[in-house]
A and B are shown apart, each in its own frame.
Chain A
Amino acid sequence: MENNIKMSSSPHIRSKVTSANIMLCVTIALLPASAFGVWNFGLPAFIMLLSTTVSAVLTEYIYEKLMHRKVTINDFSAVVTGLLLGLNMPASAPWWMGALGSVFGILVVKQLFGGLGQNFMNPALGARCFLLISFTGQMTTFIYDGVTGPTPLAMLKNGQSVDSMEMLVGTIPGTIGETSVIAIIIGAIFLILIGAIDLRIPGTYIVTFVIFIGIFGQFSNANVGFFDVQYITAHLCGGGLMLGAWFMATDYVTSPITKRGQIVYGALLGILTGLFRLFGGSAEGVSYAIIISNLFVPLIEKVTLPKPFGKGGEK
């Protein structure tokens, strides 16, 4: 028997959950939003999602091959990055722009910092912001039903009224994956049920955002009252808030590992998003809020380290 025996340090059993399972579940959770996006925007949306996802995976593969590293594409993390970037693109942008974003996200934001787990910024959002700066026009033009028009959020900023019901369902202009609150929530519930994410970050994010908008909305828009329900609902359903809160703010790698830190992080996201949306130059603010908060993560973790059991810590 001696020849077959394996030695190792305890524990000798492992849970069945692997990083690849988790990433696969995140991919599955993004499918309702993806499917809705394709239904809503048609073939160009499908081509965009395909382009960002395939190029993200290819970039990771080629880079790791060239660098003689272990190829990690089957951990699904590149798929998630690519798909998320695609969902953050307008369907009207050319497919190569999405591909370029994926290359930037995977190569510059993720791999050059050491690959999975080492990036300090969400690769999909890093890529989106790179594209927003490089191709501002195409990245902020939204064509819906053949007509170029403002997003509900932009209309809101200009003091116009919007239809919250349409925003909930998602039959509005916007990026491919952000428009349908319902589709996003279905994916998020799935992730919560399987324990992949919890409410700490998205919950604090959304609650803080609501409070911020409720109080300061009146200073941005004269027609809005204190805690104006319609205005708040429109802000919640509009733009990238839902996709960002449930799928990008919850990215493990770029969010705090400490429990109290996650609350601080969520609150910071809510305040920044509110500031950008109400008082910034653009109607949108989620992407920038998240990547800026990403940069604060090490600091947040440092001040929110838990106290150990038996040393005054939470019991």
Chain B
Amino acid sequence: MALLTFKGGVHPDDGKSLAKDKAIVEVNPKGDLVYPVSQHIGAPASPIVEVGERVLKGQKIAEAGGFVSAPVYSSVSGTVKAIEPHLNPTGATVNCIVVENDGEYEEVEYKPAKPLEEMAKEDILNAIGEAGVVGMGGAGFPTRVKLSPKEPDKIDYIIANCAECEPYITADYRRMIETPEKIVGGMKTVLKLFDNAKGIFGVEDNKPDCIEKLRELTKDEPRMEVMALKTKYPQGGERQLIYATTGRAINSAMLPADAGCVVDNVETMINIYQAVAEGRPSIDRVVTVSGDAVNEPGNFKVLFGTNQAELIEAAGGFKEEPEKVISGGPMMGFSMFTLDVPVTKTNSSILCLTKDEVAKYEPTACINCGRCVDACPSRLIPSRLADYAEHHDEEAFAKQDGLECMECGSCSYVCPAKRPLKQSIGSMRKIAMANRKKK
């Protein structure tokens, strides 16, 4: 059988060999911990601690600010030093709770509400919501909300996004190698919420060891299946993953639930498991630190709020001064101008590159070669959309389905004229969406 996949996409050098074989190392923060109250999509959390108050590791310090929101927990024991705006990895300045680490890691005792077998669906959802679990693949959508679709009986597939298609990042890979039982546990938990659903693990075939491990663990689980996917970027894009594993196609106006699917990534599955089975809040995650500018690329288990500069130290510091620092992967991550920002729930990686490939090339005229059309997984014509965007022709942009773009960046990657296609299209999408909201 041909490998499951989608049409379009690109094959960048994956750079994963830098950190692939480095076991996850725990990092204990030295400096203050900074917890943004907004690490998710939705209403910011509201602080429930005061400056000067002592907090424990695992203690809730901010309450969810609404249904679409998530609480925030302290990841160390110490004293609340300030509640003030602080720069975030995204470049935005967000209100943050700053905790001075006392180095004792005095921890709240975690206890699951009930054993999983005895839990009602509502109990599971509450445990997940209460633990502050959000989509940790990058979007940060509160998981409790995602797991509460209008008609849960119509969900046919729960898909664990184990594709990890972004180059360099190996955090999910290490999780699958080191604690696959937690991922399967997360899947088991989510399947309890959806009686008619089947659980699918979608893994790119460049990780045969993970496929084998997951298959071994799920061989007695009739409701679970491990599917090998073709290694191609953006295989882990939600729409591409759903199509590859189920053959269902959704557009930008639809949610996965409209096609009977719920997708959660590896780290999220693990946090779901920990929240429900262990009663443990979401306070840490695995982050890959990689790139040719760091001495010892690796995978680190990091407490949220840890300063990112400390992660570079953990990776042996800089070998060479980086020209580009990226939060996330090189295809969809964003460049950062400083490392003086905290690790948040959605940081999968810090990538430090000695050479910036974007600056190396100067954009030239489009030669209409159509490589962007071949690469576009949404079947758009990126070069034309970018033209409309550059001419502020919102009408033509919308008419040719510019809003369907998911900003995967495949077009910019392949463009031989080195045009910043995704950048132009992305900016126009934001304008068009903002104007739609106004109407």
Binds A, one of B191-199, B214-222, B330-338: B330-338
Binds B, one of A9-17, A134-142, A185-193: A9-17
Residue on A nearest B361 in the bound complex, by CB: A14
Q: In the complex, how many angstroms separate the beta carbon of A264 from the nearest chain B beta carbon?
A: 15
Q: Which residues of B contact A253 (CB under 8 A)?
A: 367-368
Contact between A15 and B377, CB atoms less than 8 A apart: no
Do residues A257 and B416 form an inter-chain contact, with CB atoms below 8 A? no
Chain A residues contacting B423 (CB-CB under 8 Å) are 8-9
Q: Which of A8, A10, A21, A117 contacts B368 (CB 8 A)?
A: A117
User: Is there an interface contact between B400 and A305, defined as CB atoms closer than 8 Å?
Assistant: yes
Q: Is the CB of A315 within 8 A of B6?
A: yes
Per-residue 0/1 for B354-396: is the Cβ within 8 Å of any A Cβ (1 yes, 0 no)?
A: 0011111100111111110100011111011000000000000
B434 part of interface (Cβ distance < 8 Å): no
How would residues 113 to 156 of chain A score, 1 for a CB under 8 Å from any chain B CB and 0 otherwise?
00111100000000000000000000000000000000000000
Known contacts A5-B322, A309-B251; decide if A11 and B409 are in contact (CB<8 Å). yes
B412 to chain A: which residues have CB within 8 Å?
10-11, 14
- CB distance B379 to A314 under 8 Å? yes
Chain A min CB distance to B430 (Å): 12
Binding site for B on A (CB under 8 A): 1-2, 4-15, 17-19, 21-22, 72, 75, 77, 115-118, 252-253, 255, 257-259, 305-311, 313-315
Chain A residues touching B, majority SS: loop
The residue among A117, A253, A255, A314 with the most chain B CB atoms within 10 A of its own CB is A117
User: Do A6 and B418 touch (CB < 8 A)?
Assistant: no
Give B253 Cβ to nearest chain A Cβ, in Å.
9
Known contacts A11-B412, A14-B418, A17-B416; A306 and B381 CB within 8 A of each other: yes
Whether A117 pairs with B367 at a CB distance below 8 angstroms is yes
The residues of B that contact A116 with a CB separation of less than 8 Å are: 364-365, 367
B414 surroundings in chain A (CB, below 8 A): 15, 17
Which of B360, B371, B414 has most chain A Cβ within 10 Å?
B371
Known contacts: A75-B364, A258-B373. The answer to whether A10 contacts B418 by CB under 8 A is no
Q: Is the CB of A6 within 8 A of B359?
A: yes
How many Å lie between the Cα of A308 and that of B383 in the bound state? 15
Give the chain A neighbours of B247 by CB distance below 8 A: 315
Q: Which of B10, B167, B249, B420: most chain A Cβ within 10 A?
A: B249
List chain A residues, Cβ under 8 A from B420.
Answer: 8-9
Ordered by A's residue number, 28 sampled pairs between the chains whose C-beta atoms are within 8 Å are A4-B321, A4-B322, A5-B335, A9-B423, A9-B426, A10-B326, A11-B331, A12-B326, A12-B331, A12-B333, A12-B356, A13-B13, A13-B413, A19-B364, A19-B367, A22-B416, A72-B364, A75-B364, A77-B367, A115-B365, A117-B417, A252-B367, A259-B373, A306-B379, A306-B381, A308-B380, A310-B251, A315-B247
- Give chain B residues whose Cβ lies under 8 Å from the Cβ of A9: 334, 420, 422-423, 426
B9 to chain A, nearest CB (A): 11
With a CB–CB cut-off of 8 A, which chain B residues contact A13? 12-13, 167, 330-331, 357, 413
Residue numbers in B under 8 Å from A75 (CB-CB): 364
B residues near A17, Cβ cutoff 8 Å:
371, 414, 416
Known: A8-B358, A9-B423. A14 touches B323 (CB 8 A): no
Find A309's partner among B338, B379, B422 (CB 8 Å cutoff): B379
B48 adjacent to chain A (CB < 8 Å): no
| Nearest B-chain residue to A118, judged by Cβ | B365
CB pair B404–A311 under 8 Å, yes or no, is yes
CB distance from B60 to the nearest CB of A (A): 34
Extra 14 A-B pairs, beta carbons < 8 Å, given A116-B364, A253-B367:
A2-B337, A4-B322, A4-B323, A10-B334, A12-B326, A12-B330, A13-B413, A22-B369, A116-B365, A308-B378, A309-B6, A309-B239, A310-B404, A315-B6
